[in-house]
């Protein structure tokens, strides 16, 4: 009888230890998920492959940030520039404040929106030209070689991919603003086609 109680007691203790371990692991998993989702862990990302030749569907673009996280690697260096090594060409990160200043000073830059048509129609920076990242390589001839190009998307993934494509194809002054979400959050002017 005493052995039976001892056996049940050991099983109960083992079960309590197992539940405690799983609880701690669950808490750690939730903590890391939150840290990544708020950008506390992880650097700026660049998409290596965005599904060449595939067009975005309406379902894919309702959560563009999710689509931007596929096949990503970190490209930000210690000095704050984003190095996409292709014969010493670089993608330079540029803040929304700097882009706003460029636009208000009428500086001669080419603003490239690399989202899809629906996103562009909903909201975009005035004067920006829309060329989706999915069609960018086949439309490089529409871009100016004599002006600096600033890319942007919704949250930064597609603009980094587009900037990389531009550098890989010989464009030398390429800037990545990241996402229009930050632009909107700062209260900078936008236009809509709707």
| pLDDT value, residue 74 | 36
| pLDDT value, residue 11 | 84
In the residue annotation, 153 being an active-site residue is answered as yes
What is d(CA 175, CA 166) in angstroms, rounded to the nearest whole number? 10
| pLDDT value, residue 82 | 43
Q: What share of the chain is helix, strand, coil (3-state, %, to 5)?
A: 45, 20, 40
What is d(CA 25, CA 101) in angstroms, rounded to the nearest whole number? 47
Catalytic hit among 84, 128, 153, 166: 153
What is d(CA 175, CA 187) in angstroms, rounded to the nearest whole number? 21
| pLDDT value, residue 101 | 96
Nearest-CA neighbor of 165 among 47, 61, 42?
47
Look up residue 42 and give its DSSP letter.
S
Written as tens digits, the pLDDT of the chain (194 aa) is: 666 667 778 888 888 988 989 898 888 888 767 666 655 554 444 333 334 343 333 333 334 444 443 333 334 434 444 443 334 568 999 999 999 999 999 999 999 999 999 999 999 999 999 999 999 999 999 999 999 999 999 999 999 999 999 999 999 999 999 999 999 999 999 999 87
Predicted TM-score (pTM) above 0.75:
no
| pLDDT value, residue 24 | 87
What is d(CA 68, CA 47) in angstroms, rounded to the nearest whole number? 7
| pLDDT value, residue 41 | 53
What is d(CA 160, CA 151) in angstroms, rounded to the nearest whole number? 8
Exposure string for 174-185, b = 16+ CB within 10 A, e = fewer:
bbbbbbbbbbee
What is d(CA 155, CA 64) in angstroms, rounded to the nearest whole number? 8
């Amino acid at each position: 009888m005493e052995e039976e109680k001892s056996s049940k007691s050991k099983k109960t203790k083992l079960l309590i230890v197992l539940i405690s371990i799983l609880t701690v692991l669950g808490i750690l998993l939730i903590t890391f998920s939150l840290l990544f989702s708020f950008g506390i862990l992880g650097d700026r990302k660049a998409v290596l492959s965005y599904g060449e030749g595939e067009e975005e569907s309406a379902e894919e673009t309702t959560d563009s940030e999710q689509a931007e996280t596929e096949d990503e690697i970190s490209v930000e260096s210690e000095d704050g520039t984003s190095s996409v090594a292709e014969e010493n060409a670089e993608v330079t990160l540029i803040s929304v404040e700097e882009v706003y200043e460029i636009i208000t000073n009428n500086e001669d830059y080419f603003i490239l929106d690399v989202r899809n048509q629906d996103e562009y129609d909903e909201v975009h920076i005035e004067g920006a030209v829309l060329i989706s990242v999915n069609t960018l390589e086949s439309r490089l001839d529409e871009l100016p070689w004599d002006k600096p190009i600033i890319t942007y998307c919704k949250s930064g993934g597609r603009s980094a991919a587009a900037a990389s494509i531009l550098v890989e194809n010989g464009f030398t002054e390429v800037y990545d603003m990241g996402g229009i979400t930050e632009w909107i959050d700062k209260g900078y002017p936008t236009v809509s086609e709707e």
